[in-house]
Amino acid sequence: MLPEAVNNLPPVLRPADPPARPLSELAGRFARRVVGDPADRVVSGVTVSTTDLHAGDVFVALPGRNRHGAEFASGAADTGAIAIVTDPAGAELAADAGVPVLVVDDPRSALGALSAWTYRTDSDLPLLFATTGTNGKTSVTHLLDGILTQLGVVTGLSSTAERHIAGEVVVSRLTTPEASEFHGLLALMRERGVEAVAAEVSAQGLSRHRVDGIRFDVAGFTNLTHDHLDDYADMDEYLEAKLALFQPDSARRGVVSLDSAPGTLFARRAGVPVTTIVTPAVAAEPTAADWTVEIVAERSDGTAFTLTGPDGHTLSTTVPVIGRHMAANAGLAIVMLHEGGYAWDRLAAALDGGRIDVRLPGRTQRVSGERGPAVYVDFGHSPDAFEKTLAAVRRVTPGRVLMLFGADGDRDATKRYDMARTAVHGSDVLVVTDHHPRFEDPDAIRATLVAGARAARPDAEIHEHSPPERAIREAVALVGDGDAILWAGPGHQDYRDIRGVRTRYSARELARRALRDAGWPVPAPSWPVPYPPDETPLSDPTRAWS
């Protein structure tokens, strides 16, 4: 069994039978100074959080924006930590913890190597696939997992949405877990007999050393578009962050999509051997590549495509979601697997002439029935994602397309105008609502989005409703049979972040309820329901998960 969640958060995963490593050896390898005697102490795990601490762990105390983790050293020792690893400033704060203190220059940059040594994940790992990019990396990660499963491979997965360990599924905390958690997860996967792992790697995960100590067999790059400029000074710095995955200490080889303009530069600057792929129907500037994805058909139940490449390799298959960009994601996943050593004949035998058997949580996920408006819930929250997904919905919708969306609070505000502009140009009706306000004023966020949409299309039909529970009911009332609603932003998530509290919430369930209340038939859900169907979730931080 996997561990219980702590404080409303999904559990941190680690092996049931971790290696026992001498603390004295860890100190000799990583510390430049040791306070106390590390002899006769055995390390069984690593953590950066006291809430996830197990007896026998080393507690790595990181400096934070407001507080230093070493302030919690005594509590960590009381809970069972056998040592504290921290920087010189933290060592002073941890002096009275009562356990050895190992001093390093930068505990965050040391965390990956330290965790790899502790869990022995520096060798004997499953085949590792990593995907980065602005959009599509979650989809590619789940497509890798789905195709591997069709091949009969025991899989592991780490994405924004979920963690998979040999068939068990757990909700994720972060897109890319902290290095200590990532190495513990890999050790658990190895313990469970996992043969291949598909992992989603964010730019922030790379910049914050969360994949340090891991060398992926194949890295994939989807695209680079406007996002995360709250974390990076400009798009050049954002690209540099992602390029770190395509260096020899992080990956053995790479597959790069040329569908976005930076793809060519990315492939040229990669420090590992690279194979390229392009989808002409998606590419900003179609160009020659080693592999090509040609769109064959777009239907409401999936997108058919043909993948061709070197040595006469070709196969035709269908990805079971709408969108040319989803076919591009599937093509990238197939080439990554081939580059990872899976024989082309084996891939073709599983996929050619059939469908990819995959579940993509919250990615253009249809929650409506055969009659009435088609309602899609999607995780996309960038201008590029809006543009591609709206176009995909438009191509399979005979009637009008309504777009429902909000914007993240305390995140990249520079993209809000472009989000609103793209949304209003791609839809017939626009409904603006709330998303994760965090500590921002949701009224102000909506006002910015509405103003941007009206400036882009003064004649557009634009509505504003809060909270989202009301917005989806109003949206359903504006459409009819043959129309479609795209609710972008929440996707698979089962909470909203309101003033730092994860408030229970599911866009998929809210959409189904709104359809049912309007008299339209809805299918049974194919996902876990986070609350009883008749209970109205509240956008009230006092109603956090219990």
- What is the C-alpha to C-alpha distance for residues 510 and 493, in angstroms, rounded to an integer? 12
- The DSSP code for 246 is G
Which of 351, 380, 396 terminates a domain? The answer is 351
**What pLDDT sits at residue 232?**
65
For residues 323 and 372, membership in a common domain is answered with no
**What pLDDT sits at residue 227?**
61
User: How much is the CA Rg of the chain, to the nearest whole Å?
Assistant: 24
CATH assignment at residue 69: 3.40.1390.10
Looking at the DSSP bridge assignments, the partners of residue 235 are: none
Domain membership flag for residue 3 = no
- What is the C-alpha to C-alpha distance for residues 433 and 447, in angstroms, rounded to an integer? 10
Query: Nearest to residue 263, comparing CAs of 328, 339, 341?
Result: 328
Enter the tokens of residue 428: 């017939």
**What pLDDT sits at residue 527?**
62
Domain membership flag for residue 262 = yes
Q: Domain span at residue 187? A: 127-351
Query: Nearest to residue 342, comparing CAs of 256, 218, 192?
Result: 218
One-letter-per-residue 3-state SS of 88-136: HHHHHHCCCCCCCEEECCCHHHHHHHHHHHHHCCCCCCCEEEEEECCCC
Contact between 339 and 273 under an 8 Å Cβ cutoff? The reply is no
For residues 27 and 157, membership in a common domain is answered with no
For residues 95 and 137, membership in a common domain is answered with no
For residues 369 and 232, membership in a common domain is answered with no
Domain membership flag for residue 16 = no
Domain membership flag for residue 2 = no
For residues 88 and 133, membership in a common domain is answered with no
- What is the C-alpha to C-alpha distance for residues 8 and 424, in angstroms, rounded to an integer? 36
Classify 44 as helix, strand or coil: coil
Query: Nearest to residue 307, comparing CAs of 338, 331, 289?
Result: 331
Number of domains in the chain: 3
**What pLDDT sits at residue 528?**
60
For residues 171 and 88, membership in a common domain is answered with no
Domain membership flag for residue 13 = no
**What pLDDT sits at residue 1?**
40
Domain membership flag for residue 503 = yes
Contact between 481 and 372 under an 8 Å Cβ cutoff? The reply is yes
Which of 71, 88, 119 terminates a domain? The answer is 119
Q: What is the pLDDT along the chain (546 residues), one digit of tens a residue?
A: 444 444 456 677 899 999 999 999 999 999 999 999 999 999 999 999 999 999 999 999 999 888 999 999 999 999 999 999 999 999 999 999 999 999 999 999 999 999 999 999 999 999 999 999 988 999 999 999 999 999 999 999 999 888 999 999 887 765 578 999 999 999 999 999 999 999 999 988 898 999 999 999 999 999 987 665 666 678 788 888 899 999 999 999 999 999 998 999 999 999 999 999 999 999 988 899 999 999 999 998 999 999 999 999 999 999 999 999 999 999 999 999 999 999 999 999 999 999 999 988 877 889 999 999 999 998 888 898 899 899 999 999 999 999 999 998 988 888 899 999 999 999 999 999 999 899 999 999 999 999 999 999 999 999 999 999 999 999 999 999 999 999 998 877 788 989 888 888 899 999 999 999 999 999 988 666 554 444 444 444 333 322
